[in-house]
Structure 1
Amino acid sequence: MRHVIALDVGGTGMKAALVGADGALLHQARRATGRERGPDAVVADILGFAAELRDHGARRLGEPASAAGVAVPGIVDEAEGVAVHAVNLGWRDVPLRALLTERLGGVPVALGHDVRTGGLAEGRIGAGRGADRFLFVPLGTGIAGAIGIDGRVEAGAHGFAGEIGHVVVRPGGAPCPCGQSGCLERYASAAAVSEAWAAACGDPDADAADCAKAVASGDARARRVWQEAVDALADGLVTALTLLDPRTLIIGGGLAEAGETLFTPLREAVRRRVTFQKLPSLVPAALGDTAGCLGAGLLAWDLLDDDTTDPSYPSEVTT
């Protein structure tokens, strides 16, 4: 059975699948990234994991994978297939595509940025399905974005397209590791909300999920912290929609798990800020933590460019 390898490498874990031409998930696996052992060990584990997936497919499906798609964090040169830099994995200038191609016996390999790859899946088969232009913004430890146009995700001339987390929304505000001050992710990421709520409630272990629960219960301190994050996020999103004019804004990541505790005030905050701009639909992401792996599968099928194969995935994915 014809299939591809899909691999999503995160800071703590790797998710993988063998994906059929009709989008069926023929095999799924997970394992720890093991970043505490250093970048060389992480690269070795990625190569080994991919080889295991190839061997499993050959044994169980009757043939090796036709291609592979891999999503990784950090700065990624997709055209050259190089993982340029990832702070959470500690690597620099890893020629991951070439290494994987060699390890997998010469099959074509696509390398993608984790957020853009997740955005590709959300745009084609998730919350943005059917939208010709969308912006996917996951709110996690940081904030990044994926700009979707006609079923593709824009990487930009230098691989930095979509870095909405480093749009300055509070000039002269909190310093950001990127070197600027007042960046969006310093106010509206899950990490930023966790930090602000821990300070407000006096519990150093409190996090963004705790803040959301306190908001829902009517805690005034939590509502102030939450509204500050929502206002900053709305400022960043309106800047983005002014430049990009997306039809759909897709919000994902850990903070989006708060559901309408986030989306109701966020929709209202965005609505208040738009003037001449067309208000896009603002929706939660649909694919959860499977988006990166599903997107990696799409990258792999795109490499094959085979008109006889339908690389679309089902509208609902069971994991």
Structure 2
Amino acid sequence: MNQPIWGIDLGGTKIEGVILQSMTDPTPILRKRVDTEASKGYEHIVSQMVRLVAEMENASGLKPGAIGIGTPGVLDPTLQTMKNCNTVVLNGKPLKKDVSDALQLRIELANDANCFALAETQWGVVSKSAPSARLVFGIIMGTGVGGGIVMDGKIWNGRHGIGGEWGHNFLDESGGPCYCGKEGCVETVISGPATERFYKSLTGHSLKLKEIVARHQDGSDPAAEKTIRRLCHFFGKGVSVITNLLDPDVIVIGGGVGNIDQLYTTGLQELDHFIFNNRVEVPLLKPSLGDSAGVFGAAALVASL
């Protein structure tokens, strides 16, 4: 596919659009952002996306044949409405149809974790470090925990549209209640806020994750050491479920928590302890596309789905 491809990353505060040269050359022709302004409601979000596309057309002189959109939730394959969105005004809404109707274009949707995994497979660290990989699992560990599956270069959405959603598997009771209605989800145990909460439970003091990591690294704070050791333990235990079920060729770890170096050493040792195998061979890789992965992956949707 050697023509420009268009993608939109729909975030809680910003909507970013990109036009890439082609699937074989992901050099951006144009990148542009507008505010989401989600507090103004669902219809306003749709109008902001339409506005963004118009501004991109005017700035580039190009017209899209189709647009891929990365979303903070998933499209229910049966109902064709959004679900599991942290931008809650999207839930229950036919976003794909409404944007397609407004723009009179083919629209492809996938959640942000799937877009991340697709971009890192197509153009990022997987293409460089594991180019023969057929099954890639992309992890996002930040404010929440999510995941995406790419098989033979295509996203695997699953029957319910929840393929890769390991953040809402049960991990440990200590995580407590989750916004999804269950308790002890992966997200409640190893997300950034969950890790900060655990540190506060030990000390009575609130620290940002970066400060906790720094204190662990310089050996100045036993509570910080215990916090990061716990994070690595449950990271390995959680990822072992992915590994046992899918046995991916590579796992890419994005998000702010994914920057913690101990996950790739101590966390890997914990994974080795829990998987149903006598050794770990799957590489755990840091992504290479940075903040571009979401919108680049959205653009790739129009060629991969």
Same topology, TM > 0.5: yes
Alignment-derived partner of residue 124 in structure 2:
126
CA contact (8 A) 2:241 2:275 kept: no
Alignment-derived partner of residue 300 in structure 1:
302
CA distance 1:44–1:85, change in 2 (3 Å):
farther
- The answer to whether residue 54 in structure 2 is matched with residue 47 in structure 1 is no
The structural deviation recorded for 1:88 is 2.6
Alignment-derived partner of residue 307 in structure 1:
none
- The answer to whether residue 33 in structure 2 is matched with residue 30 in structure 1 is yes
Measure, in 2, the Cα distance between the counterparts of 1:79 and 1:5: 26
CA contact (8 A) 2:212 2:224 kept: yes
CA contact (8 A) 2:76 2:161 kept: yes
Alignment-derived partner of residue 312 in structure 1:
none
Alignment-derived partner of residue 211 in structure 1:
212
CA deviations over 1:248-272 (Å, ceiling 9, x no partner): 11111011123x2332211121123
Alignment-derived partner of residue 113 in structure 1:
111
Alignment-derived partner of residue 188 in structure 1:
190
Measure, in 2, the Cα distance between the counterparts of 1:9 and 1:121: 16
The structural deviation recorded for 1:298 is 0.5
CA deviations over 1:23-64 (Å, ceiling 9, x no partner): 221001123322233333222212211222233232xxxx41
Measure, in 1, the Cα distance between the counterparts of 2:278 and 2:65: 44
For 2:250, which of 248, 251, 268 is the aligned residue?
248
For 2:200, which of 191, 198, 201 is the aligned residue?
198
CA contact (8 A) 1:83 1:96 kept: yes
1:27 is paired with a residue whose SS is strand
The structural deviation recorded for 1:234 is 0.8
Alignment-derived partner of residue 75 in structure 2:
76
CA contact (8 A) 1:39 1:89 kept: no
Alignment-derived partner of residue 232 in structure 2:
230
Alignment-derived partner of residue 18 in structure 1:
19
The structural deviation recorded for 1:193 is 1.0
CA deviations over 1:284-317 (Å, ceiling 9, x no partner): 12222211100111112346xxxxxxxxxxxxxx
Alignment-derived partner of residue 86 in structure 2:
87
The structural deviation recorded for 1:78 is 6.0
TM-score (norm 1): 0.85
Measure, in 1, the Cα distance between the counterparts of 2:17 and 2:254: 20
Greater shift, 34-43 or 143-152, is seen at 34-43
2:232 is paired with a residue whose SS is helix
Alignment-derived partner of residue 261 in structure 1:
262
CA distance 1:302–1:153, change in 2 (3 Å):
closer
CA contact (8 A) 1:234 1:269 kept: yes
CA distance 1:172–1:202, change in 2 (3 Å):
closer
Q: Percent identity?
A: 25
- Give the alignment's Cα RMSD to 1 decimal: 2.2
Alignment-derived partner of residue 142 in structure 1:
144
CA contact (8 A) 1:197 1:208 kept: no
For 1:153, which of 152, 155, 160 is the aligned residue?
155
The amino acid of 1:190's aligned partner reads G
The structural deviation recorded for 1:20 is 1.6
Greater shift, 157-166 or 263-272, is seen at 263-272
The structural deviation recorded for 1:221 is 0.7
Measure, in 1, the Cα distance between the counterparts of 2:106 and 2:77: 13
Measure, in 2, the Cα distance between the counterparts of 1:301 and 1:127: 20
Alignment-derived partner of residue 272 in structure 2:
271
The structural deviation recorded for 1:180 is 2.0
Measure, in 1, the Cα distance between the counterparts of 2:295 and 2:247: 27
The amino acid of 2:37's aligned partner reads G
Measure, in 1, the Cα distance between the counterparts of 2:54 and 2:31: 14
TM-score (norm 2): 0.89
1:64 is paired with a residue whose SS is coil
Greater shift, 47-56 or 64-73, is seen at 47-56
CA distance 1:180–1:172, change in 2 (3 Å):
farther
CA distance 1:108–1:80, change in 2 (3 Å):
farther
CA contact (8 A) 2:26 2:123 kept: no
The structural deviation recorded for 1:201 is 4.0
